[in-house]
Each structure stands twice: as C-alpha cells, then as structure tokens.
Amino acid sequence: MIRQLTEADHEICYDLVKEQAAENLFILGDIEAYGYEQDFQKLWGDFDENGELHAVLLKYQENFIPYAKPQINFDAEGFAQIMLQDPDFTMMSGLKDITERLEPFLNGRLKRKRETYYAKCTKLNSSTTENVPTTDVYLAVPEDAEELVELLNGVPEFSDSIITVERKRRGIEKGLSRSYFIKEDGRMVSTASTTAENSLSAMVVGVATLLDYKKKGYATQCMVKLCHQLLQERKELCLFYDNPAAGAIYKRIGFQDIGLWMMYSYNKMKG
C-alpha cells in the first residue's frame, strides 16, 4: 500500500534510508533540510502487508528519486503513476537496480537517460594514503569562493559547470559543502569539494587541477585531506564518475563501486 508520508512518519522513513547513507545522500539531505510537507517536496511510502515501510519515493521540485530495500519487491507501477500525475515531473534519478523497475511504466515520455558509476568510501586505504602529504592543503572559507570558481572555470572538464560564486559562498556558509585547496605561485591550483552534505553522508565533487600543475599529486592530497576529515565525522562519502580511469584513482584512496546511478529526462505532460 502506498500513501503520502508526513512528519509523523519521520522515524520509520529515516530508519529505512539511513541504512544506506551514501546511496540515499539526496533523500537524507532533503528530508533534513525541508521535511515532508513543502509544496516543492513530498515523500510517499510503500508498506508491506505487515505495515512495514520498505520503499520510498521523494519528489523534489521536478525530480523524483525512488528507493527500496535491496532485493525487495515494491509497487513500482504505483510509484510511476504518482510521478505521471504530477505536472512538474520531468526527471527521475536513482540507483539503477531500482529505477529500472519503474522504467517500463514511464517509457512513453522518456527523452533521454544517462548512466554513471556510483562509488562510496567508508574507510581510507591506509597503504596508499598514510604517506600522502596534506600539510599544504587548506580548508576554504566563504571569502575563497571567487577564487575557487575561477579555478574550476580554468579546467576544461568543468567548462559547462553552472556553479556561481554566490552559490559556492552560500554552500560553504550553510555547511552544505566544503572545499579544500592547494596554492602555488600565489594562486589556487588544485581543489576537491563536497556538496549535499547531511548528518550521515556527503557527495565529493569538483576534483580539479589546473593543467600546468598536474602530475604533482595535488588532487590526491586534496582528496585525502577532505576524505579524512569527513570520515572522522562519521560521514559516508560518495561520488559519481564517468570513466574507469577516473575510477581507478578514487579506488586507490578507498572508494568502492556500489552500483550505477541513473539520471532520466522526461517530456512534460501535454497540456
């Protein structure tokens, strides 16, 4: 049985999604930030015959994220019908083994889909990180936002990034993100950041080094410092990556693949 969740359901909902804190980074973060009863955010739960919650569907603006306990059958068609009846619905994202169960009920409006690797870290690989120097890696403060964005804009992989100085500064101020960086020749040359931080997990993003300063181990140093700090805070770390070469670097630090993350775009409902 599917029904909309309210603040009264918080304990059972939170207990379900926190079992996989990295996998449910976005659901956890949105619940902590906005709760259950906003115009732009709602949650539904699928309950089994014993009344136990075993799957949830989060709506955040136009995006929907489904989650279910591993190897559990849930009402995928019911979740899909909720999405199709929402006039805002144009996106779905989530772990492939869950989203692929909703796919057949949504194909009529599918525009495109993208698949990326999803990895998490709960412990650093000491054999490759204990001797990585991090004394020259610094934690950014809000006043560093402009220089951080300038660094990212100078790296080709981030040329289409939508990050702005204002958004970067706000994320640091509110504790939703943090950035570590290395300077050389008086300028920032390498960085690694988090985003969507919540009490249990955080997403690693923006790992970048200017071309003239590559192959010095700077990105690894920033990553090790960042990961060490968040793991000390008992937060699980996760990240997306597109190619195996990038994945190999993260795996040396201590990340392990946990599945494929899917991002779907759908056509809006015809008026």
CATH (residue range 124-253): 3.40.630.30
| Closest by CA position to 13, among listed 41, 32, 40 | 32
pLDDT of residue 64: 98
DSSP tag of 269? P
The SS3 assignment for 160 reads coil
pLDDT of residue 271: 59
Which residue is associated with the tokens 């120097």? Answer: 133
185 vs 81: CA distance, rounded Å: 57
Which parts of the chain have pLDDT scores under 50? none
What are 23's two structure tokens?
């996998």
| Closest by CA position to 204, among listed 191, 192, 190, 217 | 192
Rounded to the nearest angstrom, the gap between the alpha carbon of residue 262 and the centroid of all alpha carbons in its chain is: 12
pLDDT of residue 225: 97
Parallel, antiparallel, or unpaired for β 187-195 and 236-241?
unpaired
Element (H, E) at 246: helix 244-253
**CATH 3.10.20.90 for domain 2-117+260-266:** no
Residues in the chain: 271
pLDDT of residue 157: 85
| Closest by CA position to 266, among listed 79, 83, 110 | 110
pTM of the model: 0.85
pLDDT of residue 245: 81
Strand partners, 240: 118
26 vs 197: CA distance, rounded Å: 9
User: Which residues in the chain are classed under CATH 3.40.630.30?
Assistant: 2-117+260-266, 124-253
